[in-house]
Each structure stands twice: as C-alpha cells, then as structure tokens.
Chains A and B, each alone.
Chain A
Amino acid sequence: MEKKAENRREFIRKSGRLTLGLAIGGLGVLAASRATAGEWVWQIDPFKCNQCGRCATECVLNPSAVKCIHAFDLCGYCDLCGGYLKPDANERSTAAENQLCPTSAIERKFIEEPYFEYVINEELCIGCAKCVKGCTSFGNGSLHLQIMHHICVNCNECSIARVCPSDAIKRVKASEAYQVKGSWSKPL
C-alpha cells in the first residue's frame, strides 16, 4: 500500500516535471528564436526631444544620467549664443547672472574674433535641457541631450522614457549607443 502511494507520487512528480520542462523549454526556444546577441541601451532621439526638462528630474539617478552634449560640427561658434546666455542677459560675458545654465556647466572660451567655443562640463550638467531649448530656438541646435552610458545604470524600463511626452527615449542597440546630431541623422 505504502509502496504504491510512493510510486503514484513519484509518477505525478515525474510527469509534472516533464510537462514543466517542456513548457520552459518551448518558451525558451520561442523567445530565443527572436533573441538578439547584442544588448539594449536607452537613448534619446535628439530630433524628437522637445526639451521638457523631465530628464533632469525623472531619472532614478541624481543627478540624472542624461547630459547635454555638444555636436561641434553643427555649432556656429556664435558670440551671442542662445544656449549659453539668458535671453535678457545684460552683456555677453561669463558672469553668472547672464548664464542660462543653472549650474554653470557650459564653459565659454574665446577662440578668435568673433568666435567662441562652448564646452559642456559633464560633472556639473544636470540634463535640464535649458541650453538645448535656447540653442534649438535661436541657434543651430548643436547642443542636445544624450544618455551617458558610463553613468546610466540601464534600467530594464527607463523611468524617463515612461514620462517622456514626445516619446523620444527608445531602446537602441548597444553597438550604436549614441545618436549625436550631425553624425547620426534622423531616420526617414
């Protein structure tokens, strides 16, 4: 009697194991047939971004992994830079009260008359996109946001992507992790 009960239990366990094994095997094969060898990372499409400012506040990291980067190829090296200076700035200088950037993360350097170079200090940048808005509205749009992958923890679901109003943050292949304006153009 005892022996019989044991056999029955063992049989149930065996068939259950086989069923579940086949189930995860099947699921695995199905998923694997679509799987990619490369990893996914998150990136901002600079042409979709509308500089809403949420990148600075919604990232799980503080400060955000989103930083402004400068596509120098597109820069006009303007003296009157829409990304650097406040629209109502008193003068074109490096004085803090004239700067659009809340953390003074843009460094302005004189190159030659009348051109100035603008370099982002990544340590200070919080990804608020104020300069991006200024540069896109008044200049060439060479300043734009990108997710910096040495900072980004690559969450399974990007918490900024979830609230991005223009749906600009997408998963991209890790082999093409950046979408820098100029070298990366808008897909048709």
Chain B
Amino acid sequence: MKPKIYILLTFLLLFLSLQLPAQQQRFPKPEFDSGYEQPDPVTPEPRSGAMEYFDVAVLLAVLSLASYLVIRKRSRQGILWLSVFSMIYFGFYRNGCICSIGGIQNVTLTFFDATYAISVTALLFFLLPLVYALFFGRTFCAGACPLGAIQDLVIIKPLSMPRWLRKTLGIFPYLYLGLAVLYAATGTDFIICRYDPFIGIFRMDAPFHMIVLGIVFLLMGMFIARPYCRFLCPYGVLLNWMSKFSKWHMSITPSKCIQCKLCTTSCPFDAIDFPTEEKVTKSSRYDAKKFIIYAAVIPLWVLIGGFVGSKSHTYLSKAHPDVYLAELLIQHPELKDDPDNIDIQTFLASGKTMDILVEDARLKRKEFYTGSWILGGFIGLVIGLTLLNQVVYRRKQDYTPNRGDCYSCGRCMDYCPVDR
C-alpha cells in the first residue's frame, strides 16, 4: 500500500511544480488594506446570433418582395424603393458585411480548411439568392444587393456598348470568381472583400485608395451602367447561370409584343435581345461549319488556358504570406539583420527553422500549381464557349430581356405601351 502513496505523492508534486511556473508572476498581486475592489476587464459582447438570423429573415423578405414586384406587380417604382431600403439596411446599417458575394469565399473555405466551418447564416446568404434566381431571375440584383443599388442610383446617361466589348469585358467576372476561389481555397486572402469598391462608402471609412476606387466606380457608373455588376461581380456569374434556366422571369410586355421598339433604348445594361433579322437567320445555315470548328477548338482553349494558368502559378502564389516570406529570405538573406522588418524578425524569433518555412512554401506553391491549372482551364472554357455563342443564332420574334444578363430592374416595363 505504502509505495503506491509515495508514487502518487511524487506525481502530485511533479504536477504542482509544473503548474507553478505558469502561475508565477514577476510582481505578485498585492493584498490591499484599504478595501480596494478590483474592477473587471470590460468585454462587450458581439452582436447576438439572433440578430444574424434577423438579417437572413430580412434578406428572405426582400427577395420575396422583389420577385413579387417584378413578376406580379410589374412595378419599377417598387423595385427602386426596395433597392434603396436594401442599400440602407445591408449597406449603410450593416456596413456591407455580411454579403452574398463574399459568401463564395466562405463556402470555398469550408471545403478546403478543416478548421473552418461556415456559419448557417453565411451559408443562407450565399444560397438564398441563387435559389430565388433559379425561380424568378436575378431579382437579388434588382432589389436586395446593396452594391447593385448604389450603382443603379447613379445611372444618369448610360451609353450603349458594342457587343464585342461587352462580351470581352464579360470574361472578367469569371476570372475574378476563379481567382477568389483559388485564393480562398489556399487560405491566402478574401479578395472579393478586400477589393469591394463600395464598402468604404458604406462604412464611410476605408484606406484612401479604396475610397478613390469606390468614387471612380460611381463616376464611371453614371455612363457605364453598373460597371461592377457587369464586368467584375463574381456572384453575378453564378446568378447568370441560374437565371438562364429560371422558371419565371420578368417580361417587358404584360401580354403580346407589338414590336413598337419603345423599349429598345430603355435598358442601360444592353440586356434586351432584339428579334432576329430574317437575313441573319437565312445566312446562319452557313454558320454550321463555323459552329463545328468553334466547338472543336474548345478543348484547345482549355489546354491553352490551363497552360497559361500553370505558368502564372509562381506569380499568383506570391500573395500567400509563407511563400512571400520564404522568397524574400532566399533572395535577400541580408534582410535578416533588418530590425525594422517585422515579418522577418517575428519569423526569426518564433523558432521556426528556415527549412520548415521553405517546405511550407513549397507545398503551398504546389497547391497553387494545381489550382491555377484548373483556373486557367476554366477561363479557357469560358472563352471558348463565349466565342461559340457568337455563332449561335436563336430565332426570336419579340423584344425580350436576356435572361442571363437581365437584372430585373424593371426599367423596360415602364416603356412598354401595352396594357394588360
């Protein structure tokens, strides 16, 4: 019996002596005689979870109302006021965070980072507009998106852009989406959030260059309607896909189109498809050959894209802090003596060896290699399909909104002289 107690005691002592240094302080807390009461550190609670769910409820209500206003009520006025509300609530009141566009990155990170799990509210913010777009078209863009609303309000004299320019610039959202997913998946950065041009305006506070960017976008938006939505927004890509196949969609005319052409100039986004001319339809027979060629070169586009992407992986990976630091230290070892370089000094003090850092960076770069191959291939595919679309003629008799590009803002409805 006795030895057992000794062993226990020794362990207890060992345990205590291990605990002690952690508790020891240079200056022990004094015992006060004057009846001094020690205050507690102030730790104000974060915004409550219930409020986050309230935001989801607001989003749901706005989306439902927007869909009703566009498809049933056919009210441009209603949509306008709803978008003003969304801009004030999601933009100025909620400071632009949480937003569906940035949700892309949270969803991506959930699949690639084991330590991160998306919160239910963020997931709903990502999914709800997509589901609505699948049924009602892009009513999110029309009524719920604060970024869309602020751009929509500054449209003064929209200029029509030639088709080739629109289609070319239209590739950028795909690139932005691809890059955002790549950077989120590698745990590098959330670029959609960091380069959100309007968040500085919503918060009335941001680094100087971001404020300038926001103002530039708004000024540009007076003449090129919704420049961010059309030529950058990565979430717009997903909404575009959904809306193309939507069950219902806003229509310009409430009954039958009388071909009056009054709506043709109403859309600031060039999102109205005109009826196909007979001449074009006739000659399109000869485009079958073109179509086959364009379809056949798509794999080539994918390969070229993937190759270009993989070539740029070194450059893209520089955004990751580990890769950046490892490269900096290899190229400029003399910086180790620079006391002002906080990153290097912290790394040296952390006890992490150079070998481990280089190995980490090498692994990260490998991830980037795979990622940028896929990204490049994706962009190649997009280019190939965009080109293919140019030789496809769909027979059309009326003026109809382009389901993919249309934001369902309802301007064209006001121009239509046909009554119910």
Contact = CB atoms under 8 A, between A and B. Distances in A.
B102 interface: yes
B32 A112 contact: yes
Interface string B55-87: 000000000000000000000000000000000
A156 B107 contact: no
Contacts of B349: 50
Interface in B1-53: 22, 25-30, 32-34, 36, 38-47, 49, 52
A117 B39 CA distance: 10
B111 A30 contact: yes
B289 interface: no
A139 interface: yes
B139 interface: no
A84 interface: no
A28 B123 contact: yes
B46 A28 contact: no
Nearest to A14: B245
B346 interface: yes
A157 interface: yes
A28 B26 contact: no
**B interface, how many residues as a size bin?**
35 or more
B369 interface: no
A185 B23 CA distance: 11
Interface stretch (A70-78, A88-96, A97-105): A70-78
A148 B44 contact: yes
Interface in B245-280: 245-247
Nearest to A138: B26
B216 interface: no
A162 B46 contact: no
Contacts of A5: 395
Nearest to A30: B111
Given A52-B346, A72-B38, A139-B26, A61 B246 contact: no
Contacts of A75: 29
Nearest to A59: B205
A152 to B, nearest CB: 7
B190 A177 contact: no
Nearest to A77: B30
B30 A115 contact: yes
Nearest to A62: B205
Interface string B324-344: 000000000000000000110
B196 to A, nearest CB: 9
Interface string A104-118: 000000011001010
Interface in A4-46: 5, 13-14, 16-17, 20-21, 24, 27-28, 30-32, 34-41
Interface stretch (B127-135, B154-162, B297-305, B372-380): B127-135
Interface string A142-165: 000010111011111101001001
A174 interface: yes
B46 A154 contact: yes
A54 B135 CA distance: 47
A9 to B, nearest CB: 8
Contacts of B194: 157, 159
B281 to A, nearest CB: 12
B155 to A, nearest CB: 28
A166 B346 contact: yes
13 contacts: A24-B242, A30-B111, A36-B117, A36-B118, A37-B119, A39-B121, A73-B38, A74-B25, A77-B29, A119-B39, A148-B44, A154-B97, A162-B189
Interface of B: 22, 25-30, 32-34, 36, 38-47, 49, 52, 95, 97-98, 102, 105-107, 110-111, 116-121, 123, 127, 130-131, 134, 189-190, 193-194, 203, 205-207, 241-242, 244-247, 321, 342-343, 345-347, 349-350, 395
Interface of A: 5, 13-14, 16-17, 20-21, 24, 27-28, 30-32, 34-41, 50, 52-54, 60-62, 69-78, 111-112, 115, 117, 119, 122, 139-140, 146, 148-150, 152-157, 159, 162, 165-166, 171, 174, 177-178, 180, 185
